[in-house]
Amino acid sequence: MAGNAASDQSKMQVIGKDVVSVGVVAVRFADPDGGDVPAWDPGAHIDLVVDGNTERQYSLCGDPADRKSLTVAVLREENGRGGSRWVHDALQVGDLVGIGGPRNNFALASAQSFLFVAGGIGITPLLPMVRAVDAAGADWKLLYGGRNRSSMAFADELADAYPDRVELRPQDEFGILDLSAALDAVADGTAVYCCGPEPLLQAIENECRGRSNLTLHLERFAAKERPAGAVDAAFEVELRRSGTTVEVAADESMLDAVLRAGGDVPFSCREGTCGTCETAVLDGVPDHRDSVLTEDEQAANDCMMICVSRSCSAKLVLDL
């Protein structure tokens, strides 16, 4: 089912589609009437309506100063849910498509120095960050890995533009990324930004534990895996503003229960990765299962992603 975030969707036209590496195409969109595209900052993504009715999220990798186009790069995933295959095979220059956002759950923080770590298509949100911090004169490094050089989008462009700051480490030449060495080499106070496949994200999370001198920022393209043996239980959700209480069955999502009760909440990915369904929590203890909120934000328990998260208490009260 597609999300109901259509209120901020607009029709945009495909004005360019180019192969940028093996398995990756860059797609550019513009206002069909020649107007400005929505403003955005590094780390933002858009919701792209693929195949006419399903939303998928893709990081913006162009230039935020360019108000006439938006660019995403899409990896073809043969075993995915079909969105990337549609972009590669069906989407053509001249097509009109629905686009929502931009939204940003991976914003670039202020810091004296930065370490960017990319795995494969995870380079896309980091690309505008690199350009921004370099333009600002900050100290930074990029560690970029992939299966092989031919699969690493924008690798040559980055290496040519920043030869002293970019380390390309294709796995078939160097093995897996040496995260420990990269983290050991950075200064105290460094902001570490990482995006890529789940094994890379888990590895850098493990490496950063105990390194209080660094701040880690992650973006996931897929939901976290549930712990083995996890069992869901039913619980109640009160929608405070509407005065409605609904039971969330053990085998249904909180989002579906809220919609069934007439709740009005935007949603899109249904995987806890896009942040569209973020909802304020007024009472109760959420069971956070999203990939958007930081550990500190989850510990505060004042908001949650209701598409995947559940409840640790018998009842939750939401600001809906």
Q: What is the CATH number of the domain that holds 300?
A: 3.10.20.30
In a domain, 226, yes or no: no
Considering the domain architecture, whether residues 39 and 119 belong to the same structural domain is answered as no
Considering the domain architecture, whether residues 121 and 213 belong to the same structural domain is answered as yes
In a domain, 158, yes or no: yes
Please count the structural domains in the chain.
3
In a domain, 143, yes or no: yes
Using CA atoms, how far apart are residues 244 and 261, in angstroms rounded to an integer? 7
In a domain, 228, yes or no: no
**pLDDT score recorded for residue 69:** 98
Tokens found for residue 170 = 């294709």
Rounded to 10 degrees, what is the CA torsion of 160, 165, 169, 170?
Answer: -30
Q: Choose one of 75, 103, 131: the last residue of a domain.
A: 103
Contacts of 171 (CB under 8 A, 6+ apart): 145, 146, 147, 148
Considering the domain architecture, whether residues 148 and 244 belong to the same structural domain is answered as no
Contacts of 44 (CB under 8 A, 6+ apart): 59, 60, 101, 102, 103, 104, 106, 125
Enter the pTM of the model: 0.83
Q: Choose one of 185, 219, 253: the last residue of a domain.
A: 219
In a domain, 82, yes or no: yes
Considering the domain architecture, whether residues 117 and 215 belong to the same structural domain is answered as yes
Considering the domain architecture, whether residues 258 and 201 belong to the same structural domain is answered as no
**Residue 215: which domain range?**
113-219
Q: What is the CATH number of the domain that holds 172?
A: 3.40.50.80
Considering the domain architecture, whether residues 130 and 212 belong to the same structural domain is answered as yes
Considering the domain architecture, whether residues 31 and 70 belong to the same structural domain is answered as yes
Considering the domain architecture, whether residues 35 and 56 belong to the same structural domain is answered as yes
Considering the domain architecture, whether residues 215 and 263 belong to the same structural domain is answered as no
Q: Choose one of 165, 195, 219: the last residue of a domain.
A: 219
Q: What is the CATH number of the domain that holds 27?
A: 2.40.30.10
Per-residue pLDDT of the chain (320 residues; tens, 9 = 90+): 234 444 468 999 999 999 999 999 999 999 999 999 999 999 999 999 998 778 899 999 999 999 999 999 999 998 877 899 999 999 999 999 999 999 999 999 999 999 999 999 999 999 999 999 999 999 999 999 999 999 999 999 999 999 999 999 999 999 999 999 999 999 999 999 999 999 999 999 999 998 999 999 999 877 666 666 667 899 999 999 999 999 999 999 999 999 999 998 888 888 888 888 999 999 999 999 988 888 888 989 999 999 999 999 999 999 99
Q: How crowded is the C-beta side of 84, counted as CA atoms within 13 Å?
A: 17
In a domain, 73, yes or no: yes
Considering the domain architecture, whether residues 120 and 209 belong to the same structural domain is answered as yes
Considering the domain architecture, whether residues 208 and 246 belong to the same structural domain is answered as no
In a domain, 230, yes or no: no
